[in-house]
Structure 1
Amino acid sequence: MWKKTILTIIGFLLENIMRMRMNLGYFPVSANIKPESCRLIENMGFGSEDITIIPSGVALISTGLKSQIIPDLSGGKPGKMYFLDLNDDDAVPVPFDFSADFNSMNFNPHGISHFMDHSDGAEKILLFVVNHPNHDSQVDIFHVNLESKLLIYQKTVQHDLLPQHVYVADSTNKEVKVMKRKEDNSLSLQKVIKLHVLPDNIEVDRKTGSLWIGCLPSLWPLVFYGTKHSPGSEVVRIDCPSSAEPSVTTIYSNNGSELQSSSVAARHESHLLIGTVFHRMMRCTLPIIPLEC
């Protein structure tokens, strides 16, 4: 009887281990897919974990994320914020300075988002940065001054449960959850979109409503970096995410030979930027195709 019990326990453990390996993408990506016109951006070889694009076509980029499970290719330097003008094909990323009242030496930027503030009659760009100084977690808010290349510190928000928004990336289960906001600002689950990869940051196309997502084909090569397989990269686009039949398309896929650990994809007009957790950044040109949902 005890032998049967032990075999049952072993079988249960093996089943769950295999399920975890599949969910976390144990098997690395095999196919390389890339738009025709792509190029790596120079001097951005230490990560571009998140990217958000303001309506004028200027991309804001967080770099230098540090964590215990990812390599640090910056040599221990603090994280930085950059901007890149996508209206200029020859533009290069430009670093921001910080106002004197912000401690930039412990800056460890993760996810970012922006808000166009018109409350006082003039347009103001507010940048929200998930920051991990000394492995803590907080959201720092800045006023963006592009002309002065300056991020002007506004305030810091800390809370145990920082809120998620309408589209939620569930990396563990390889899915995107579509949430519906109620009148009382609570969220209810509307649908779940299954993916074949692990989604990270989500960017919403302002014109089409499509979701552009930087994804990891496999988590294992990132956790055990430096072994046989490199952490690959994949970008998926979800068209009509709120409709009855969302469409999922792979736009870019690489086994790590060109781009490792993609974390974000942001599109503006015909321009696409692909950022990574700790590696390089890529710029692509895509055709503009009308979308009907």
Structure 2
Amino acid sequence: MGKLVALVLLGVGLSLVGEMFLAFRERMNASREVEPVEPENCRLIEELENGSEDIDILPGGLAFISSGLKYPGLQNFAPDEPGKIFLMDLNEQNPRAQALEISGGFDKELFNPHGISIFIDKDHTVYLYVVNHPHMKSTVEIFKFEEQQRSLVYLKTIKHELLKSPKEVKVVAKGFRSANGITVSADQKYVYAADIAAKNIHIMEKHDNWDLTQLKVIQLGTLVDNLTVDPATGDILAGCHPNLMKLLNYNPEDPPGSEVLRIQNVLSEKPRVSTVYANNGSVLQGTSVASVYRGKILIGTVFHKTLYCEL
């Protein structure tokens, strides 16, 4: 009788594990493929061969790109090279990427850049806040951009188990499975946050005290990474992973695809979602971000190449 009960329990357990595995595969879009969509006049950026995980563009058209991310479980084509911040001037007819020199005593050999954000102060000084993973830990590095020299000056490392600010840390929004890319609207009134595991974007109103009120959740059916805002239209651009399992279990014979979505009229009752770019890995693998400037789009990846197209 005991053996029978054990076998029954084993069967139930295996059944539950099977259901959990199938549910996990469904959440990760394990079998999803995309129909190719390509804008006009696309070209790969020669200097960016080892990823462009995040991209932030100044109002004047200078694009900052974090490259060379090394993270457990992710492919890396240059494991012995330190990460870099690249700069592209999108006003040029055929812009190229150049790696920025970093002064100020920063340990460049341990640079493992991830997300990147820009802050411009009242004197128009540009600061870069870069998520870094030295020794697979997490810090935020602060740099000042020297436009004349086209270089970065290292200022400070924020290092804390909660990356706590000097004043306070407080919870302003809940209900995420895995909050990832975060950005704000052009008028600074709304915060957009991607939930990669739930395949959606949260639209929240920002108050003066930085409390957030959730207005809506836009379901996208794909795993959303970083978000940017089109400064000309206010649309959201989302770099997405159509098949995260392929990203996490890299196979060059069956590589992960890429997908970029545009979300228009985000505050309306029926936001419009359209595909800007889609590829099953033959050109671009593992898209993480897309950013636009004056009819051009830069599409970045976690560890692969970078694409520059006309819209």
Counting matched residue pairs gives 283
- 2:46 is aligned, of 42, 45, 48, to 42
Deviation at residue 6 of structure 1 after TM alignment: 5.2
Q: Tell whether 2:274 aligns with 1:270.
A: no
Following superposition of structure 1 onto structure 2, how do residues 123-272 of structure 1 map, counting pairs within 5 Å?
123-161=124-162, 166-226=191-251, 228-272=253-297
- Paired position in structure 1 for 2:188: none
Deviation at residue 223 of structure 1 after TM alignment: 1.5
State how far apart, in whole Å, the 2-side matches of 1:59 and 1:228 are. Answer: 32
Q: Tell whether 2:75 aligns with 1:71.
A: yes
- Unaligned segments of structure 2, at least 5 residues: 164-168, 170-181, 184-190
The amino acid of 2:270's aligned partner reads E
State how far apart, in whole Å, the 1-side matches of 2:217 and 2:112 are. Answer: 31
State how far apart, in whole Å, the 2-side matches of 1:275 and 1:29 are. Answer: 19
Report percent identity of matched pairs: 39
State how far apart, in whole Å, the 1-side matches of 2:193 and 2:228 are. Answer: 11
State how far apart, in whole Å, the 2-side matches of 1:105 and 1:130 are. Answer: 15
3-state SS in 2 of match to 1:222: helix
Deviation at residue 195 of structure 1 after TM alignment: 0.9
Q: Is the 8 A contact 2:264 2:272 kept in 1?
A: yes
Q: Is the 8 A contact 1:112 1:127 kept in 2?
A: yes
State how far apart, in whole Å, the 1-side matches of 2:206 and 2:20 are. Answer: 35
State how far apart, in whole Å, the 1-side matches of 2:146 and 2:85 are. Answer: 12
The amino acid of 1:276's aligned partner reads T
Q: Tell whether 2:56 aligns with 1:31.
A: no
Q: Tell whether 2:40 aligns with 1:60.
A: no
Moved more, 28-37 or 276-285: 28-37
Q: Deviations over 1:67-89 (max 9, x none)?
A: 12112212411100011011112
User: For residues 219 and 204 of structure 1, do their structure 2 counterparts lie closer, same or farther at Cα, with a shift above 3 Å needed?
Assistant: same
Q: Is the 8 A contact 1:95 1:149 kept in 2?
A: no
State how far apart, in whole Å, the 2-side matches of 1:91 and 1:206 are. Answer: 20
Deviation at residue 200 of structure 1 after TM alignment: 0.6
3-state SS in 2 of match to 1:144: strand
TM-score, normalisation: structure 2: 0.85
Q: Is the 8 A contact 2:27 2:198 kept in 1?
A: yes
Pairwise CA RMSD of aligned residues? 1.9
State how far apart, in whole Å, the 1-side matches of 2:296 and 2:234 are. Answer: 16
TM-score, normalisation: structure 1: 0.90
- Unaligned segments of structure 1, at least 5 residues: 287-293
Q: Is the 8 A contact 2:70 2:79 kept in 1?
A: no
